[in-house]
Amino acid sequence: MNRPPSSADRWGSPAMARRLRRRYAAERRFRRIGAAAVALSAAFLAFLLITMIAQGFRGFTETRVALPIDLAAAELPIEPARLKGRGADLALAGAGLEDAVDRAATNAFGSDGIDLLSPGAWIVVRDAVKADPSLLRRTTDFSLPVASVYDVAAKGEGMPEAERVVARLRARGLVSTGWNIGFLRDADATDPTRVGIWGAAKGSLLTMLVTLALAFPIGVLAALYLEEYAPKNRWTDMIEVSINNLAAVPSIIFGLLGLAVFLGSFGLPRSAPLVGGLTLALMTMPVIVIAGRNAIKAVPPSIRDAALAVGASRVQVIFHHVLPLALPGILTGTIIGMARALGETAPLLMIGMRAFIAAPPHGLTDPATVLPVQIFLWSDQVDRGFVEKTSAAIIVLLVFLLAMNGLAIYLRNRFETRW
Amino acid sequence: MSGVILLILILGLGIIAWASTRMRALGFRRRSSTRVSSLPHHHGWYVALWTAVPPMIFLAIWSATSPALVTDMVLHVPAAVQLPAPGFERAAILSEARALAAGRAHGAFHALSRTLAPAYDRAQTRIDWIATAIVLLLALAGGAYAYLRVKPGFSARTRIERVVLGLLLAASLIAILTTAGIVASLLYEAGRFFSVVPITDFLFGTHWSPQVIDPRDPGASLGAVPLFWGTFFIGAVIAMAVAIPFGLMSAIYLTQYAAPRVRRIMKPVLEVLAGIPTVVYGYFAALTVAPAVRQFAVAIGIDWASSESALAAGLVMGVMIIPFVSSMADDSLAAVPSSMRDGSLAMGATPSETITRVMLPAALPGVVGGVLLAVSRAIGETMIVVMAASGVATLTANPFASTTTVTRQIVDLLTGEAEFDSPKTLAAFALGLTLFVITLLLNIVALSVVKRYRESYE
């Protein structure tokens, strides 16, 4: 401190100028590191999204091969009258359509022609016949999905041998690419060309319904109690602490709770949307309570006082004035909590939602799977064809999440009130 | 009648009670000259609750107890003498007879169940009629009692509001019940585990291979130290090595340097990272990052590198955690009084000197709290490690080697055969309990650090 001033401390001295240059360089460096951190984080996000979209986009398309089938020569024992209404699938399933398709494939592409087609190819023929029974009396050019190996090859990532086959077919002008409608319509399957996302989407929908029906009312009522009624004592402190802790408990612990309590003690069915919804509701409720309390806290006391002054009771103040004013904030929190629940996988694995389920669930207690678990299941498959399906399912899930978050942001902007 | 129809009946009676009482209240409101303390719908709700709630409570108890009553009645029919002694077979025959009587089964495996089915049917019908009678009686008695009390001077409102208050309290108690349920179920199952495996073997053993458990000494292959190390290594070392510099520098740049427009765009973009489902990160880690890490390891001369390396899982987890660290750091930097920053700048310090020498030290408790919260999140994270980390427990500090974590092992242990009694299944609950305790402690410490620090400036 009491050091005599040396020449280095004088303004304009070369030493001072050097030190200043060093300090300014350090400043610029620090600033650039900061910008780089932000840019790299954003770049990672972009890389992830672009990888998923580039791969997943191909999952929405399928490769088809043109194949003439002479259904008249096959002489299938089908009465056109039975093709109307409910019995049609049954009548066509046992009628030998599969054999007719296989024969046509062998005729057109040689002895391994059967392997060229997807196992689901005959279903395309079946649906066409159902729509137009006159096809049974003539030769028709069908455009049928190819097997997974060749589908991958046609998209440029397959085995060399399969790629040669595809190139040969392409030279003959038989290969085309079309939208894979079945991906949005069907449920899980063992063959990647036949899998669909609808079964999992419906399972997610049912699970979310249970979650919402439980977590929203309980969360809102609990928030109202804690903000409007709760006396300050040990009990309410305990409630408050446990709600804050619940929000930070790892999600897999909720899965263990669901396994031990809902499956072990109550004996509810495994893999059911009901149990999944119950488990996720316990997880989502604290999020809604915390968001709800903040929204209720933001309602100014003058509104409560005004209502009380004209003779309303506490309950009337809460349900006629405070709750409607706080509702946009509560809804925003609810949507964010639901979006988190929609993306959750680990607790659902615990309660058995990782089974192979080939039909969409019809009720809350049917075995079901959900979108994230479906992604997890497909990611485990060795078949190359599942890679693009997994990414396609990820795109579907991200679109749902984006829509929910967009809605939350819209609600926040639309109804945000400044008192 | 079945439970659903009874429920509809009760609701119907409740609606009728509500509507008729409301009419009556409207009537005496018009007629009487005295002041009526409650609105007509308060009276309606009062009677409706008295009509519907007692039968509902009865129905809930009844549906839990009536199956036993039915079985009891069936056991008194003459044919029941042929039933075998209590045990598995007896239970099987009875449940088959019950299914036959309810029309849920189409064929019978035991001949006796076919004989007992009609008895079941009769008993069930009788029990159902008794239930219907009691429900009607309760509904009518409750409704009539309440209806007679509804007079102009009767304050239905206070009574309704007492019920609403009870409902609110019950809703908030569910939080405590959930916490208690988690703790109780984890403690109970873990207790069963520790009655087989000594707790010291579990906490201090270094060998983990649950696939081959020696029944004479199950503790020998259930030592969890490698799991704890792997969890710590991936979640607290590698992930934090990514998340802390990136999160902290992002927060500093966005709060101190960035133009408002950049901040408005980049902050939500970073927050998207936290909103992506972890299964997507896991898939990305397994499909893209893990092979890249392996190639990198091979390129620098490590040719035994695992494709399920700790590094791949940790890197991706770190990216997921960036927004947590950055938003916590953002908050604590904003909480530093601006007079401190202005003072430093006025003394001639550059912004970066101000940040590193004045603001960061002042914001340190908040940043540390945020990092602890992030660690707690990272070690509880499941899907990334399930998909990208290995299932083999090793004690290694090499980021290119394979490691496993607590959460990955919980998933591995509980999928597959699901019997509740093997030490293998119960070990998952012991791991869950450990995870719960550790994350809870981390959260409590983190929150108290953040809280104490906030108070010091206000």
Residues 6+ apart with CB under 8 A from B449: B365, B366, B368, B369, B372
- Give, as one character, the DSSP assignment of residue B415: S
Instruction: Answer whether residue B418 shows pLDDT above 60.
Output: no
Inspect the interface and report whether the beta carbons of A41 and B252 lie closer than 8 Å: no
pLDDT band at A119 (very low <50, low <70, confident <90, very high): confident
Contact at CB, B282 and A379, closer than 8 angstroms? yes
- Sequence-distant (6+) residues with CB within 8 A of B282 are A376, A379, B316, B383, B384, B385, B386, B387, B388
> Average model confidence (pLDDT) for chain A?
86
The band of B108, judged by pLDDT with boundaries at 50, 70 and 90, is low
* B255-314 pLDDT, tens digit each: 999 999 999 999 888 988 988 999 999 999 998 999 999 899 889 888 777 778 889 999
**Span B347-390, pLDDT tens digits:** 999 999 999 999 999 898 889 989 999 999 999 999 999 998 88
- For chain B, the straight-line distance linking the first and the last C-alpha, in angstroms and rounded, comes to 65
Cβ neighbours of B292 in A, within 8 Å: none
Work out the pLDDT band at B451, boundaries 50, 70, 90. confident
Facing A30 at nearest CB: one of B272, B352, B381: B352
Strand ranges across the sheet with A175-179: A139-145, A61-70, A175-179
Residues in CB range of A161: below 8 A, 6 or more apart? none
pLDDT at A156: 79
CA distance B445 to B261: 36
Q: What is the structure's pLDDT at B454?
A: 67
Contacts of A107 (CB under 8 A, 6+ apart): A113
CA triplet A41, A37, B348: central angle to 5 degrees?
Answer: 155
Q: Which residue of B has its CA nearest to A398?
A: B276
pLDDT tens digits, one per residue of A227-269? 988 888 888 888 888 888 888 899 999 999 998 888 888 878 8
Rounded distance, CA B401 to CA B392, Å? Answer: 10
- Distance, in angstroms, between A352 CA and closest chain B CA? 8
Residue A80 neighbours by CB under 8 Å, 6+ apart: A133, A136
- Greater confidence, A377 or B37? A377
Whether the per-residue pLDDT at A391 is higher than 70: the answer is yes
* Predicted pLDDT at A47: 94
CB-based contact B172 A221, cutoff 8 Å: yes
Partners of residue B288 in chain A, C-beta under 8 Å: 51
Best B280, B308, B414 residue to mutate vs chain A (most A CBs within 10 Å) = B280
- Residue B1: predicted pLDDT: 52
**Sign of the C-alpha dihedral computed for residues B84, B85, B89 and B91 taken in this order:** positive
**Residue found under tokens 């009062």:** B46
Q: From residue B73, how far is each of B59, B77, B113 by CA, in Å?
A: 20, 7, 15
Helix (H) or strand (E) holding A145: strand A139-145
Smallest CA–CA distance, residue B408 to chain A, in Å, is 10
pLDDT single digits (tens) A275-313: 999 999 999 999 999 999 999 999 999 999 999 999 888
Do you know the residue count of chain A?
419
Model pLDDT for residues B209-260, shown as the tens digit of each residue? 887 777 777 777 888 899 999 999 999 999 999 999 999 999 999 999 999 9
Q: Which of B171, B250, B382 sits opposite A251 (nearest CB)?
A: B382
Closest to B444 in 3D by CA, of B368, B373, B371, B377: B373
> Which helix (H) or strand (E) covers residue A107, if one does?
helix A97-109
* Phi and psi at residue A61, to the nearest 5°: -115, 160
Distance CA B424, CA A346 (A): 19
Mean pLDDT of the region B426-446: 91
Contacts within 8 Å (CB) and 24+ apart, A35-38: A35/B253, A35/B257, A36/B249, A37/B245, A37/B246, A37/B248, A37/B249, A37/B250, A37/B253, A38/B249, A38/B250, A38/B253, A38/B254, A38/B258, A38/B266, A38/B270
- For the beta carbon of residue B446, count every other beta carbon within 10 angstroms: 22
The token pair that represents A321 in the structure block: 């004035």
Contacts 24+ apart (CB under 8 A), B196-204: B196/B423, B196/B426, B197/B222, B197/B423, B197/B427, B197/B430, B202/B427, B202/B430
Contact between B199 and B192 under an 8 Å Cβ cutoff? The reply is no
What is the share, in percent, of chain A residues with pLDDT greater than 90? 40
Would you say residue A82 has pLDDT above 80?
no
B270/B423 Cα distance (integer angstroms): 43
More confident residue, B316 or A408: B316
> How many angstroms separate the CA atoms of A378 and A265, rounded?
31
Q: Give the list of residues 6+ apart from residue A172 with CB closer than 8 angstroms, or none.
A: none
pLDDT tens across B25-68, in order? 888 777 776 667 778 888 888 888 898 889 899 988 887 788 78
CA nearest neighbour of A306 among A321, A325, A292, A326: A321
**Digit-coded pLDDT (tens) for A66-80:** 888 887 777 777 776
> Could you tell me which residue, B165 or B114, shows the higher pLDDT?
B165
Nearest CA to B295 out of B284, B281, B311 is that of B311
Would you tell me which residues 103-132 of chain B have a C-beta closer than 8 angstroms to some C-beta of chain A? none
Q: What does the pLDDT read at residue B416?
A: 66
Range of weakest confidence among A204-208, B60-64, B327-331: B60-64
Q: What is the pLDDT of residue A36?
A: 95
Q: Does the pLDDT of residue A93 top 90, yes or no?
A: no
Q: What is the 3-state secondary structure (H, E, C) of A83-99?
A: HCCCCHHHHHHCCCHHH
Residue B135 has pLDDT above 70, yes or no: yes
Residue A28 binned pLDDT confidence (cut-offs 50, 70, 90): very high
By the 8 A CB rule, do B306 and B294 touch? Answer: yes
d(CA A261, CA A263): 6
A398 contact residues in B (CB cutoff 8 A): 276, 280
pLDDT bracket for residue A101 (50, 70, 90)? confident
CB-nearest to B169 from A26, A225, A354 is A225
Q: Does B404 touch chain A (CB under 8 A)?
A: no
DSSP structure class, residue A143: E
Mean pLDDT of A102-117: 81
Phi, psi of B97 (to 5 degrees): -60, -40
Is the model's pLDDT at A114 over the cut of 90?
no
Which residues lie below 8 Å from residue B442, measured CB to CB, with a gap of 6+?
B372, B373, B375, B376
Q: Kindly state the percentage of chain B with pLDDT values over 90.
A: 34
CB A351 within 8 A of CB A255: yes
pLDDT attached to residue B441: 92
Higher pLDDT, B155 or B164: B164
* Segment of A169-173, A288-292, B419-423 carrying the highest mean pLDDT: A288-292
Percentage of chain B lying above the pLDDT 70 cut = 95
Determine whether B260 is exposed, middle or buried from the number of CB atoms within 10 Å of its CB (0-12, 13-18, 19+). Answer: exposed
Q: What is the 3-state secondary structure (H, E, C) of A274-300?
A: HHHHHHHHHHHHHHHHHHHHHHHHCCC
Tell me the mean pLDDT in the region A128-152.
Answer: 82
Average pLDDT over residues B1-22: 85
Evaluate whether B113 touches B90 at the Cβ level (below 8 Å): no
Model confidence band, residue A92 (pLDDT cutoffs 50, 70, 90): confident
Among the ranges given (A114-128, A226-240, B330-344, B437-451), the one the predictor scored with the smallest mean pLDDT? A114-128
Select from A252, A265, A336 the residue whose CB has the most chain B CBs within 10 Å, as the one to mutate to test that interface: A252
| Shortest Cα–Cα distance, B380 to chain A (Å) | 5
Instruction: Tell if the CB–CB gap between B186 and A253 is shorter than 8 Å.
Output: yes
pLDDT of residue B396: 82
Whether B455 has a pLDDT exceeding 80, the answer reads: no
Please tell me the least confidently modeled range out of A285-294, B73-82, B141-150: B73-82
Helix (H) or strand (E) holding A176: strand A175-179
| Cross-chain Cβ contact A218/B447 below 8 Å | no
pLDDT score of B280: 95
Residue B345's pLDDT is 94
pLDDT at B343: 94
**CA–CA separation, B274 vs B323, rounded Å?**
6
